[in-house]
Amino acid sequence: MAARQLAGSGADVLVIDRYEIGERQTSACAIPTAWLQELGLIESEKQRFDSVLIHTAHGSIRLPVPWSFSTFDYPSFCELLWDQCDAEFETAKVNGRSDSEKTGTVPIGASPISIDTDRGPIHAPLVVDSLGWKRVLAGGAHYQPPEAPLSRGLEVHPPGGNVDLEVFINRRYVPAGYGWSFPADDEVRVGVGSFDPHFPVRHTTDLLADDIEVGKSAYQGNWIPHRLRPATANGVFFAGDSAGHCFPLTAEGIRPALYFGAALGMKLRDVVDGTVTREQALDDYHSFSAGHQRAFDWLLRAQKLLPKIHPRLVKPTLAASFKAGGSGDYAFNRYLGIAPPEFAALANSALRSSLDEVAA
């Protein structure tokens, strides 16, 4: 997303990943539909939902959503987004900051930044770490799960079909967290997420799959950050899970990765255009991300509260909190507003006007 915002800028943009683009899906891939529409990615949509069906240990409740969620096809989504970039791509494994920085031969964060990869060093004045929760390019101590503010998630992707986006808030599957069944046309993505990183989710992912009678194939899982982290450090920009941009409670991380990636890409374009310095961009983007702390705290409070609600009270609490047309619409709209689709529209128009300027 950050690279996309630099399309046509003349910047020499290199995107690297240890895998090919779209090769390794790490998510159930549910996102507000409007984000797919705004970004021209709607062709990757697999199924659309205007409500969430929640199963508690003591009954089920359907929460109408005042907008819609979609599940999408991960490889097509990545390809469509990549088509909007004019960057180069190489596969390489990033090992970390270069040895010269580590040994102090070069001051940390000085431009250009040096990155050590299994295919040799890379030097660049602007470096974005979107390598996930490991935050590979940060200096200092790294998170060591399970002793870290991380959730953990595991899911299976068997073939199948269903009509509802389903969530299971039931201690049968996880004491603190939830299970899900997200249909995506010809397959269904069924998994368990635990807010407590010590809880092993493999057994109960199997249990949920057995309970709802789907197969157990194509396992995929990961640690999921649930705490916002500084979005810049030692001269490097962080976006997505590397900055803890995944929302607590819901573990929705794709939309915020797109949102913060867009904000960052727009800022980097200003640096390339010479209207702000790299140092100013580091400050501005840092503040932009940190400005979302309250919203992340709101979701983290809810994440901590959910496991404390007595199982018998979960359904009545949801019924009282999510009234259709009232508190439910308010909560869902407030949630969407943390990273609203209008921001994608803003990123589009910024990109269009930059491209028009280049063409003129």
Ligand X SMILES: Cc1cc2nc3c(=O)[nH]c(=O)nc-3n(C[C@H](O)[C@H](O)[C@H](O)COP(=O)(O)OP(=O)(O)OC[C@H]3O[C@@H](n4cnc5c(N)ncnc54)[C@H](O)[C@@H]3O)c2cc1C
Residue 30 is a binding residue for ligand X (CB under 6 A): yes
Residue 17 is a binding residue for ligand X (CB under 6 A): yes
What residue spans of the chain are helical by DSSP H? 33-38, 74-83, 99-102, 202-211, 254-273, 278-290, 293-305, 311-321, 327-338, 341-359
Q: How far is the CB of 250 from ligand X (least distance, A)?
A: 8
Residue 26 is a binding residue for ligand X (CB under 6 A): yes
Q: Among 32, 65, 74, 132, which residue interacts with ligand X (rule: CB under 6 A)?
A: 132
Q: Among 3, 94, 122, 156, which residue interacts with ligand X (rule: CB under 6 A)?
A: 94
- 132/198 Cα distance (integer angstroms): 20
Residue 240 is a binding residue for ligand X (CB under 6 A): yes
- Both tokens of 217, joined, read 């194939």
Choose between 56 and 205: whose C-beta lies nearer to ligand X. Answer: 205
- 117/91 Cα distance (integer angstroms): 10
User: What type of residue sits at position 253?
Assistant: G
For the beta carbon of residue 88, count every other beta carbon within 10 angstroms. Answer: 11
Residue 246 is a binding residue for ligand X (CB under 6 A): yes
Residue 209 is a binding residue for ligand X (CB under 6 A): no
CB under 8 A, 24+ apart: contacts of 252-255: 252/30, 252/31, 253/27, 253/224, 254/27, 254/29, 254/31, 255/31, 255/32, 255/35, 255/339
User: What type of residue sits at position 176?
Assistant: A
Residue number closest to ligand X, CB atom = 253
Residue 122 is a binding residue for ligand X (CB under 6 A): no
Q: How far is the CB of 181 from ligand X (least distance, A)?
A: 11
Choose between 264 and 271: whose C-beta lies nearer to ligand X. Answer: 264
Closest CA to 152 of 209, 216, 226: 226
| Residue 301, helix vs strand vs coil | helix
* Choices 50-58, 240-248, 279-287, 315-323 (CB under 6 A): range interacting with ligand X: 240-248
**Judged by CB under 6 A, how many residues of this single chain contact ligand X?**
32
Residue 249 is a binding residue for ligand X (CB under 6 A): no
- Residue list 276-335, contact with ligand X (CB under 6 A): none
Pattern 256-285, binding to ligand X, x per CB under 6 A? -x----------------------------
Give 274's contacts (C-beta < 8 A, 6+ positions apart): none
Q: Among 10, 12, 14, 18, which residue interacts with ligand X (rule: CB under 6 A)?
A: 18
Choose between 30 and 315: whose C-beta lies nearer to ligand X. Answer: 30
| Residue 99, helix vs strand vs coil | helix
- Both tokens of 253, joined, read 């991380």
Q: Among 131, 190, 214, 281, which residue interacts with ligand X (rule: CB under 6 A)?
A: 131
Q: How far is the CB of 93 from ligand X (least distance, A)?
A: 4
Give 357's contacts (C-beta < 8 A, 6+ positions apart): none
Q: Among 41, 167, 254, 344, which residue interacts with ligand X (rule: CB under 6 A)?
A: 254
Triad 252, 243, 65: Cα angle to 5°? 20
**Site for ligand X, rule CB under 6 A:** 17-19, 24, 26-31, 93-94, 130-132, 136, 153-155, 191, 221-222, 224, 240-241, 246, 251-255, 257
